[in-house]
Chains A and B, each alone.
Chain A
Amino acid sequence: MKFAAEYRDGTIGRAIARRLHDVVDTDRHYKLMEICGGHTHTIYKYGIASLLPANVELVHGPGCPVCVIPMGRVADAIAIARRPGVILTCFGDLLRVPGSEGTLLDAKAAGADVRVVYSPLDALRIARENPDAEVVFFAIGFETTAPSTALTLLRARAEATANFSCFCNHVTIGPPLRALLDSPEVSLDGFVGPGHVATVVGSGPFEFIPAEHGKGVVIAGFEPIDVLQAVLMLLEQLRSGRCEVEIQYVRAVTPAGNPRALAAMDTVFATRPQFEWRGLGFIPDSALRLADEFADFDAELRFDMPGVRIDDPKACQCGEVLRGSIKPWECKVFGTACTPERPIGTCMVAAEGACAAYFNYGRLAAGARQPEVVG
């Protein structure tokens, strides 16, 4: 399997692991954050933690888009879906995200027309096929998925598809990282940077991390060898006293990113002055809305929505997981009241969520609740 099998080679992985043990200072502890939920998934699925030196700790960051969407926005989507004549489309992960009045799956069971799509382009096709319905795409994701929404809206405008609109919840990666680094609660030694976001934005948005906070960043791919090599590159930075943004995922990421994707996003979106993140609160300039030129396609302008702020359930500690303050298994309800079948928090819903990844790959291993036994 090109670009996959060669990055899952156990012999190479063990060789990198031996090198990791050579470069660490045994007298100190290293705390590295993998920003992206895709990396969290890889770490648990392939037992990366079991290959690391005991004094190297990986903590999970806020880079899972489903995990950070606040309950109020889910309630808004459900309100749209319940309207007669509306077809609400979304990615599959969103169906089971709890809002204040249940999930989109509950709304679908009660009769709302909610459909899963693999691409916003599928939502546009549904709009063409159902000219008497209002078709809404519930858009979420970082800069990785925002280009596909942007191209879909450009196409909708070119085709004058009047019954299509977008409920935009796209977010950007830089502001939450800045908020995280400004928080006294979290102390980190470096970051494994999000490879797919960086294919679009390049390495520039991460330069403030070494420049202003003195922490290294290695932008990594998503196969186990990618993650191990990124950890090695971070540890080598620390050993040599360097502090910079490096790209491990060179087969997809360039320093400039994807200028065409950025241009499409710049045409279609504008920055929101504030946006609420689950567990992280309101973060300035951290999300996108449709630009004024695309107001005709903006579901927030087309439909009345509750637009209320809803607190997370008290038992849920997703916020602490997303800030890297606690590990999934340290949450009060992990694996008991909160499971993938009946999630309380978003981190247990999404495939990229840290709690779901640990629940699926780590909890049943010998000596469970310790990450190093995964795999």
Chain B
Amino acid sequence: MRVVEPAAPLQGARCVAADGTIALVLLDLVDAAVGDEVLVHGGVAIARTAS
């Protein structure tokens, strides 16, 4: 999912998937900024995806 809006620690950041799905995702476990792609499991980003 792509991060489209930042958030405070332990608060969900707004992210959008390639199919348009929008979700609030915790980014606490990765170094991700707005525009980055992240791999999400259970509402938590577990990796920043690199091309």
Contacts and interface: CB of A to CB of B under 8 A. Distances in A.
Interface stretch (A142-150, A186-194, A204-212, A349-357): A142-150
A200 B10 contact: no
A149 B42 CA distance: 8
A200 B19 CA distance: 25
Interface in A119-134: 119-122
Contact of B29 (A3, A145, A250, A264): A264
Contacts of A148: 26, 41-44
A258 B26 contact: no
B6 interface: no
Interface string B28-49: 1110000001010111101101
B37 A2 contact: yes
A148 to B, nearest CB: 3
Given A4-B18, A151-B26, A155-B10, A253 B47 contact: yes
Contacts of B46: 144, 147, 196, 199-200, 258, 261
Nearest to A263: B29
B16 to A, nearest CB: 11
B10 to A, nearest CB: 5
A264 to B, nearest CB: 7
A147 B29 contact: yes
Interface in A94-148: 118-122, 141, 144-145, 147-148
A252 B42 contact: no
A200 B39 CA distance: 11
Interface size class of B (residues with CB under 8 A): 20 to 34
A314 interface: no
A15 interface: no
Given A147-B29, A151-B10, A151-B29, A3 B47 contact: no
Contacts of A118: 23, 42-43
Contacts of B19: 1
A260 interface: yes
A280 interface: no
Nearest to B43: A119
A79 interface: no
Contacts of A122: 43
Contacts of B30: 258, 260
Given A3-B51, A151-B10, A154-B10, A260 B43 contact: no
A120 B43 contact: yes
Contact of B42 (A120, A250, A251, A258): A120
A366 interface: no
Contacts of A3: 18, 37, 49, 51
B49 to A, nearest CB: 5
A4 B28 CA distance: 25
A160 interface: no
A258 B29 contact: yes
8 contacts: A118-B42, A120-B42, A147-B42, A151-B44, A196-B46, A250-B50, A251-B50, A251-B51
Given A148-B26, A199-B47, 5 more contacts: A120-B43, A141-B42, A148-B42, A151-B28, A196-B46
